[in-house]
């Protein structure tokens, strides 16, 4: 799935980095393994052997769930991961949607090149005539990734809201940005 994200502020690729699915973290515990999960595993193996959960998992755990269950410091079975829980994309590329104009201004356009009008993936807010027309995208600002239906650090929660409400909130945010704020647009894939 492809989607757009607008990155507000300097070092847009540095701001994107913590949200990569490729970012591997030190192993961390995600949860305790429930009795239901253990029973499901044992039932799937019961026809093969009459062994305890611990013995069965030692023998078949790698095949069952890649061996992500192990005993924690309290000797309880827990699930562990190195997956980035903040991941939003597996790759990205700049989208050239900001069209430069002869008057030194730029405007939001479709991500294609038309004639000799250059399109860039970033510009300063004050140089973009119609920034509020860039709607329907996620937003990354100050290390916070926001999208429709999720809380935002600069305003109220969007839970239950749709795209129209989100776009209105984006337009309000744009109005508060200083003119020298860097605005970059990326195509992300997940």
Domain boundaries, the chain: 2-21+87-189, 28-81
Higher pLDDT, 93 or 31: 31
- For β-strands 28-32 and 77-81, DSSP reports them as antiparallel
Position 99 scores a pLDDT of: 65
pLDDT at 168 over 60: yes
Position 18 scores a pLDDT of: 95
Tell me the mean pLDDT in the region 105-125.
58
Among 18-32, 46-60, 108-122, 136-150, which is the least confidently predicted range? 108-122
Q: Which of 156, 152, 155, 134 is CA-nearest to residue 144?
A: 152
Position 105 scores a pLDDT of: 59
Tell me the mean pLDDT in the region 60-76.
93
Residue with tokens 């809380």: 151
Rg, Å, the chain Cα set: 23
Position 130 scores a pLDDT of: 73
Position 159 scores a pLDDT of: 46
Position 78 scores a pLDDT of: 96
The two three-digit tokens of residue 185, written as one number: 């647009």
Identify whether the C-beta of residue 174 lies closer than 8 Å to the C-beta of residue 131: yes
Position 155 scores a pLDDT of: 45
pLDDT at 60 over 80: yes
C-alpha to C-alpha distance for 4 and 16, rounded to whole angstroms: 12
C-alpha to C-alpha distance for 80 and 97, rounded to whole angstroms: 41
């Amino acid at each position: 799935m492809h989607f757009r994200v607008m990155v507000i502020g300097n070092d847009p690729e540095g701001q994107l980095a913590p949200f990569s699915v490729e970012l591997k973290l030190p192993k961390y515990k995600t949860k305790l393994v429930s009795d239901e999960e253990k029973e499901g595993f044992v039932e799937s193996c019961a026809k093969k052997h009459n062994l305890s959960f611990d013995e069965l998992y030692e023998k078949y755990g790698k095949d069952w769930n890649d061996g992500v269950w192990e005993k924690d410091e309290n000797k309880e079975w827990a699930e562990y991961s190195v997956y980035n829980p903040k991941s939003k994309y597996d790759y990205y590329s700049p989208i050239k949607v900001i069209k430069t104009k002869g008057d030194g201004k730029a405007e939001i356009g479709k991500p294609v090149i038309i004639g000799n009008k250059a399109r860039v993936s970033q510009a300063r807010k004050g140089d973009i005539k119609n920034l509020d027309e860039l709607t329907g995208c996620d937003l990354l600002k100050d290390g916070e990734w926001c999208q429709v239906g999720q809380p935002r650090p600069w305003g109220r929660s969007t839970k239950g809201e749709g795209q129209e409400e989100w776009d209105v909130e984006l337009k309000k945010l744009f109005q508060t940005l200083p003119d020298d704020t860097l605005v970059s647009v990326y195509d992300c894939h997940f």
